[in-house]
Amino acid sequence: MPDKLFAAREKIDLLDRRIAVLLSRRFDLAGPLAALKKKPRDPARERQVLANAAAAAKKPYSRATREIFSEIIRQSIRLQKTK
């Protein structure tokens, strides 16, 4: 059993690294957008991003995915305010 646990954790660690790289790329793209926007928040765009993320997730994970993307949006806005 420990071998299965170790193998699963290795797969999770690999995915976590890939997610971190993708998040960094997303933040790199989102940061400079502050200069192009009239207001820091765009509720219609935020709803669209959340809907897209939830739709892309497997059914039992759509709510969790939506919550995670809510935080990603929050952090993107925070980064835009510091640029």
Domain around 30: 2-82
Closest CA to 17 of 29, 9, 28: 9
Q: What is the CATH number of the domain that holds 41?
A: 1.20.59.10
Distance CA 6, CA 57 (A): 26
Confidence of residue 83 (pLDDT cuts 50, 70, 90): low
Query: pTM for the complete prediction?
Result: 0.89
- Angle, helices 2-30 vs 62-82, to 10°: value is 40
- The secondary structure of 9-62 as a DSSP string is HHHHHHHHHHHHHHHHHHHHHHGGGGGG-SSS--HHHHHHHHHHHHHHS-GGGH
Number of domains in the chain: 1
Distance CA 9, CA 51 (A): 29
Q: Percentage of the chain with pLDDT > 70? A: 98
Average pLDDT over residues 48-56: 97
